[in-house]
Amino acid sequence: MKQSLQLPSWALWALVAALAAFILLCVWSVRRHGGIKRSFFSMPYTLWMVLFTILPCVLIAYYAFTSGDGQFTLDNFINFWDSNYTVNKMYEELGPDYASLITRGTVNIDILVYSLWMALWCTLICLLLGYPAALFMADREMKIGSTIVVLFIIPMWMNFLLRTIAWMSLLEDQGLINMLLKALGIGPAKLMYNDSAVLLGMVYNFLPFMVFPIYTSLNKLDPKLTEAAQDLGANGMKTFWKVTMPLSMPGIISGITMVFMPSVTTFFIPRILGGGHTMMFGDLIESMFLTANDWGIGSALSLVMMALILISLGVLRKADPEGEGGGIA
């Protein structure tokens, strides 16, 4: 059911309560410690988290479990499982003559499966490309390792949207790649508006998020460990599989998480490079909020996405409990 842009009254009261609690907490902290302590400066961040992280998540949960009139319902999640649920209810009300028209819609599930499949391929390709690059960058005998790190960082200074749009000038029918193919006599190829173009854009944008965590893990390795393995008779390949690879696993898990989840939720790349022929889960959520103006189903889809993110973070926490895999050293 479509919902208008109107926050529930309790959300405004929660906002006022959060601001009042923040002010009282600041006054209490100053009076208790007889002045401003270092921990006092974390309070603005706490307020920011409450207002722009916790409260929006609460609102999403509220709209996911309520109907347009504010009544509790699970219809939004049923609509996720059966995209024809609303239409089927109308057919049921019309009588048994319309029973043959009642069919389960699988659009939402199909889009989620497609998004997971594309994200899986993107993560796998990023891992196959990113691990050798990180291994090369972390090699202390290579003098240009730090230079390559900078080359990976520089494209990230450019806006994400501009980086994606730039690929259009390379992949379009009259783009640079097709011009080169024509010059070589191979002929033009259909490089845009297909799954391959979307996958290429995803790999290009998310590859650094795979490289840097792995590079951090490899850069932290004590070189004495590999030297000890070689002293015990292990060759280069055996040292890699028995020492380097296991010790870099936290970075691999962190990179997989940082690539897989954004890949599932991305929505601009399929729109630009896919030309509207492909839709991923992020596109579906955006269309529910902005096009269909259905906050209930949009919020339900968002909660499903949050559940996947929490599962991913749980896997990361088990593989890297100390959080040693992320970041740039």
Is it the case that residue 128 has pLDDT exceeding 90? yes
pLDDT for 119 equals 92
Looking at per-residue confidence, does 31 or 85 come out higher?
85
Question: Which alpha helices (H) appear in 1-106, and where do they start and end?
Answer: 9-33, 43-49, 55-64, 75-81, 85-94
Q: Is the pLDDT of residue 317 over 60?
A: yes
Nearest to residue 106, comparing CAs of 96, 114, 118, 95? 114
pLDDT in tens, 43-92: 778 778 877 888 888 889 999 998 877 788 899 999 988 888 888 888 77
Give the pLDDT of residue 328. Answer: 43
Mean pLDDT of the chain: 82
- Assign residue 131 a region (left: φ > 0; alpha: ψ between -120 and 50; beta: otherwise): alpha
pLDDT at 326: 47
- Average confidence (pLDDT) over 236-241: 82
For the ranges 190-199, 206-215, 224-233, the lowest mean pLDDT is seen at 224-233
Q: Model confidence at 302, in pLDDT bands (50, 70, 90)?
A: very high
pTM for the full predicted model: 0.81
Go through the domains of the chain in sequence order and give each one's CATH number: 1-71 (no CATH), 107-319 (1.10.3720.10)
CA distance 327 to 175: 36
What are the structure tokens assigned to 242, written together? 């028995």
- For residues 9 and 7, what is the distance between their CA atoms, to the nearest angstrom? 6
CA 103 to chain CA mean position, Å? 32
What DSSP designation does 290 have?
I
Give the DSSP H/E element, type plus range, for residue 180: helix 176-183
Query: Which residues are CB-neighbours of 283 under 8 A, at least 6 positions away?
Result: 111, 267, 270, 271
DSSP-derived letter for residue 274 is S
Question: What pLDDT score does 276 carry?
Answer: 73
In 3D, which of 226, 241, 265, 258 has the Cα closest to residue 328?
Answer: 258
Lowest mean pLDDT among 108-122, 139-153, 249-263: 139-153
Mean of pLDDT values over 223-236:
78
Q: Strand, helix or coil at 105?
A: coil
pLDDT of residue 327: 46
- pLDDT value, residue 1: 47
* 268 phi, psi to nearest 5 deg: -80, -40
Alpha carbon distance 163, 307 (integer Å) = 29
Higher pLDDT, 294 or 127: 127
